[in-house]
């Protein structure tokens, strides 16, 4: 697959703090326009300051999540929910515990489900039953992955169990400090599932993401760089700091 696709919209801001403020502002705008918005959320260090800015807006500006629902992209398989590195715990500690979202309406795929194939199907069904995702936040892996859709993932993929790339496991290892190794499997929304979101905001900060961003924006439209598919989405924007945008002319 190598056809020309429309260039994605790229917004380049001076530093990571400006990126977080911009992205949180996009979520706040959506929530104000549609208090019952269905948010697609993401984990990772890139999201920490975004969540921080959302918490600040909740406290200082009255931004409310009371009517909203959320669906996260992914989690590890086989990690206890309260493990320090579980994505549920990250979401609770960086966002959910500090805003007025109804915990019952926050969803992550359950990497401890007895039947993971069934869990994947149920997760897709729950998103559909909620009316689909209004705004999906995405990070990007240094290898171009989105969620846990590693290079080579089919653009038509749906929510499923996947093997994690060695580089993804290495990047995740610091959050496991002293508590074991990064699991070898994850459960993730698929690329086709992600593309069904009505709006997508990819967030990239730091020099370590510059190659992946350049490939996503200017490289071939190819599963070797899963994020390249965002160029085909009618309402996707990449918000980057200068460091992450270093490979764009």
Among 22, 28, 45, 185, the residue binding ligand GLP under the rule CB under 6 A is: 45
Q: Does 243 bind ligand GLP (CB under 6 A)?
A: no
Cβ-proximal residues to 158 (8 Å cutoff; 6+ apart), any chain: 120, 124, 189, 190, 192, 193
As a whole number of angstroms, the longest Cα–Cα distance in the chain is: 48
Q: Does 210 bind ligand GLP (CB under 6 A)?
A: no
- CA-CA distance, 86 to 176, in Å (whole number)? 9
- Left if phi > 0, otherwise alpha if psi is -120 to 50, otherwise beta: which for 136? beta
Among 20, 27, 31, 42, the residue binding ligand GLP under the rule CB under 6 A is: 42
Among 70, 106, 136, 168, the residue binding ligand GLP under the rule CB under 6 A is: 168
68 versus 73: smaller Cβ distance to ligand GLP: 73
Does residue 143 have an active-site annotation? yes
Among 8, 49, 111, 141, the residue binding ligand GLP under the rule CB under 6 A is: 141
Angle, CA of 10, 16 and 22, to the nearest 5°: 55
Does residue 72 have an active-site annotation? no
- Residue 177 vs residues 80, 84, 88, 171, 212: alpha-carbon distances, Å: 16, 9, 17, 12, 26
Given 58, 143, 196, 241, which residue is catalytic?
Answer: 143
Q: Which residues of 79-107 are buried (b: 16+ CB within 10 A; e: fewer)?
A: beeebebbbbbbbbebbbebbebeeebbb
Q: Does 150 bind ligand GLP (CB under 6 A)?
A: no
Does residue 112 have an active-site annotation? no
Residue 25 structure tokens: 């502002």
Does residue 145 have an active-site annotation? yes
Among 40, 44, 49, 183, the residue binding ligand GLP under the rule CB under 6 A is: 44
Q: Which of residues 53-82 bind ligand GLP (CB under 6 A)?
A: 73-74
Q: How many residues bind ligand GLP (CB under 6 A)?
A: 13
- Give the footprint of ligand GLP on this chain (CB under 6 A): 42-46, 73-74, 139-141, 147-148, 168
Residues designated as active site: 74, 143, 145, 150
């Amino acid at each position: 697959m190598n056809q020309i696709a429309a260039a994605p919209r790229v917004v380049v801001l001076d530093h990571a703090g400006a990126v977080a403020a911009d992205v949180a502002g996009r979520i706040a705008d959506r929530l104000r326009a549609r208090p019952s918005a269905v948010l697609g959320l993401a984990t990772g260090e890139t999201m920490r300051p975004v969540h921080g800015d959302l918490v600040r807006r909740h406290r200082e500006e009255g931004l409310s999540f009371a009517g909203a629902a959320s669906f996260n992209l992914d989690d590890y398989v086989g990690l206890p929910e309260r493990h320090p590195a579980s994505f549920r715990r990250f979401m609770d500690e960086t966002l959910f515990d500090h805003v007025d979202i109804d915990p019952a309406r926050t969803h992550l795929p359950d990497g401890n489900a007895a039947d993971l194939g069934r869990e994947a199907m149920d997760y897709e069904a729950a998103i559909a039953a909620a009316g689909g995702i209004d705004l999906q936040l995405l990070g990007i892996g240094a290898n171009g992955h989105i969620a846990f859709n590693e290079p080579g993932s089919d653009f038509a993929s749906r929510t499923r169990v996947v093997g994690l790339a060695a580089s993804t496991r290495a990047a995740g290892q610091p959050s496991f400090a002293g508590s074991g190794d990064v699991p070898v499997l994850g459960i993730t929304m698929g690329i086709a599932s992600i593309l069904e979101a009505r709006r997508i905001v990819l967030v990239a900060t730091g020099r370590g993401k510059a190659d992946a961003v350049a490939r996503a924006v200017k490289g071939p439209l190819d599963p070797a760089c899963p994020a390249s598919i965002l160029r085909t989405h009618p309402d996707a924007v990449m918000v980057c700091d200068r460091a992450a945008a270093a490979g764009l002319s």
